[in-house]
Chains A and B, each alone.
Chain A
């Protein structure tokens, strides 16, 4: 039988609770889950900035399977696994819309049979990691699925905000750009709201349908109003092929009306910070000046990315062990 969820003993809380074997999205996490992950990530960061030599994951095997090109996220997971002493493997598979799912499940099952404990999956289709999690016993971490979620990106964003701001309650965050196609935006909307922050969204109407208001966020078509008075400005990468699909008229018009500039950053609170998941299209969604300014925390986000991924790997492996899962 497949173990989708099992009872686990929670040391802190002192009772058994249901924890999933996978990390598929922020949406299904509780506020407590998020805090626990961020706390653990804080501890992991000490290893990361220290001797990078730990045996927490000794004897564990972590494999990344990316059906979509990625350099930073994949490497970040690899570093996280290695700093904690895990065995590490990687598969890069070209994907296409005609890839049949049986082979998708078969690919991952092959890795599982090589005794992997955790697999990390990126796929261009929403729900692909959920499909794998359903049919496999191995733990699955979602490294980005279609337009749905990118939970580790949101966690590193939350960690960075927490370090810089120290609180979430009442914090105002503006997420700017191509929202409808952004899994980063979705994961952040869930995470920020669960922790008590106010989320504002800004972008052209073709990339930001009003429906997002039903998710609890405020929708703006005037970026200046969205940024006004916020604590955090988060830019998103705009995929330039969206212009070819007629979703916005030109790069120029996009950057003029929805680009984040130094001038616009002045509308935010004095001590506001600027974030971006990278890689940046410089001078399209974000000017170079803004990206390089003192309020920019983009590089720290990258470091924190390794820390949250270390935390998730540690927590998942501990859960698997405490449940004495035998495969």
Chain B
């Protein structure tokens, strides 16, 4: 029951960056050393490859129960391990909504049986995510919900939001907020700006995000709630968060790979795979988001993996579903666009995708003796062309389709078990 990852370059996202061997026993990390040899261990040759602590996604849509045509816990977690993720927190916009213990238990049991990686449900802030009554937060926490969110249904009622934060802070629950003033975004389907003006699509102004973010910051400040800002997309949002952090507000923030790497320009041509909320913004915003990551204003990268069917996207832009399927190429996208271009460091990327999110979810994670053996082995020198038809996810909706990216996930190990191996096939390998 022993596994050794041999000769890989181990990066833990916390400053350790050396060639080392990792010994895994009984699903736990048993040793990290320059050279580990055992006669009775299975050896994975990681020579020339990189070994990272498994990625942790704070923002995944697994769609089950209710929208199994878009994704299931099985396919979504398969996609996750194919992308190097070992833990995903799944959003509550299922049907039924994750607003009670039964749905939480259901998701946990399916994940246990069919899942490839660890699944941590996020509970709804309000019953049915209807923005009317607060959910049974204490009960939800007791069955293992790691955070609360009403996801894409921002709570427009400020009084209610304050009550949610006040009540939730009794249980130290992380409040994940999708910041959008629906009255400002209106019927918008893309960033409001030059491209929307050119091609006649209704715009979502950047203020729609900032107005709501500012309100949530003010409420977090007065209630002391742990506020986490989902998918930051604008330059001024970065400024607002920076200021809030300086004032001591209990706030963290995430950014998606697509908002970090793509701009609104690719919407010109009406490709519905570019449609997401928040929308792809401008170069100026992208630059500010990268700076925000580097200076610690933005804490983590989260995928907002949002799989949809082809029919959901094979419609005019106005009525196409919002969302991008991206968990299995998230690392490669950011590595290719940002690390390869010298904009961020590889060690930091591992931190943003693995260590920081694990801290937000209060997990014991990373390369420490005794921790669960959750890791991924990536070949950074290997180039591949994104082909959505090869996605493990049911969602083929990616604007990166056809692009050449670097960094292939070779192995993903969860609890010491190989849950993904890059030969195209999942290996059931009980080590």
Contacts and interface: CB of A to CB of B under 8 A. Distances in A.
Interface in A207-230: 209, 211-212, 214-215
Contact of A215 (B198, B202, B315, B316): B198
A127 B317 contact: yes
B403 to A, nearest CB: 19
Interface stretch (A97-105, A280-288, A299-307): A97-105
Interface stretch (A43-51, A146-154, A266-274): A146-154
A162 interface: no
Nearest to A96: B319
B196 to A, nearest CB: 8
Given A102-B314, A211-B193, A97 B198 contact: no
Interface in B266-297: 269-270
A131 B197 contact: no
Interface residues of A, number: 30
Contact of B311 (A97, A101, A127): A101
B316 A147 contact: no
Contact of A127 (B194, B197, B270): B270
A215 B197 CA distance: 8
A186 B316 contact: no
A180 B197 CA distance: 7
Contact of B201 (A97, A126, A135, A209): A126
B319 A127 contact: no
Interface string A114-128: 000000000101111
Nearest to A245: B186
Given A100-B311, A102-B311, A131-B270, A214 B316 contact: no
A300 to B, nearest CB: 27
A181 B352 CA distance: 42
Nearest to B311: A102
Overall SS of chain B's interface: loop
Contacts of A97: 318-319
A264 interface: no
A27 interface: yes
Given A100-B311, A127-B270, A211-B194, A186 B200 contact: yes
B316 A101 contact: yes
A31 interface: no
Given A125-B319, A126-B270, 13 more contacts: A27-B198, A101-B315, A102-B314, A104-B315, A123-B316, A128-B316, A130-B270, A146-B316, A180-B197, A186-B200, A212-B197, A215-B194, A215-B198
A128 B200 CA distance: 12
Contacts of B102: none
A101 B194 contact: no
A147 B201 contact: yes
B318 A125 contact: yes
Interface string B165-207: 0000000000000000000000000000110011111100000
Interface string B309-325: 00100111111100000
Contacts of B201: 126-127, 146-148
B199 A148 contact: yes
28 contacts: A99-B319, A100-B315, A102-B311, A102-B314, A104-B315, A104-B316, A125-B316, A125-B319, A126-B200, A126-B270, A127-B199, A127-B270, A127-B318, A131-B270, A131-B316, A135-B314, A145-B200, A146-B201, A146-B318, A147-B201, A148-B199, A148-B200, A148-B201, A183-B200, A186-B200, A211-B193, A212-B197, A214-B194
Contacts of A102: 311, 314-315
Nearest to B193: A211
Contacts of B269: 130
A125 B194 CA distance: 18
A290 to B, nearest CB: 28
Contacts of B314: 101-102, 105, 131, 135
B54 to A, nearest CB: 38
Interface string A173-212: 0000000100100100000000000000000000001011
Nearest to A97: B319
Q: Which interface residue of B197, B202, B269 has the most chain A CB atoms within 10 A? A: B197
A260 B199 CA distance: 27
A312 B18 CA distance: 67
Contacts of B319: 97-101, 125
Interface in B94-149: none
Given A131-B270, A214-B194, A149 B200 contact: yes
A149 B201 CA distance: 11
A168 B319 CA distance: 39
Given A125-B318, A127-B316, A147 B200 contact: yes
Nearest to A128: B316
A126 B318 contact: yes
Contacts of A211: 193-194, 197
Nearest to A132: B316
Contacts of A100: 311, 315, 319
Contacts of A148: 199-201
Given A102-B311, A131-B270, A209 B197 contact: yes
Interface in B205-227: none
Given A100-B311, A101-B311, A102-B311, A126 B197 contact: no
Nearest to A180: B197
Nearest to A134: B270
Contacts of B311: 100-102
Contacts of B199: 126-127, 148
B193 A147 contact: no
B309 to A, nearest CB: 10
A197 to B, nearest CB: 18
A149 B198 CA distance: 10
A131 B198 CA distance: 18
Interface in A55-85: none
The 6 closest A-B pairs by CB, nearest first: A101-B315, A147-B200, A148-B200, A127-B270, A125-B316, A126-B200
Contacts of A183: 200
Nearest to B201: A126
Contact of B317 (A125, A186, A212): A125
Contacts of A135: 314
Nearest to B314: A101
A100 to B, nearest CB: 6
Q: Which interface residue of B201, B269, B270, B320 has the most chain A CB atoms within 10 A? A: B270
Contacts of A180: 197
B193 to A, nearest CB: 6
B320 to A, nearest CB: 8
A135 B313 CA distance: 13
Contacts of A186: 198, 200
A46 B225 CA distance: 75
A146 B197 contact: no
Given A126-B199, A147-B201, A183-B200, A131 B318 contact: no
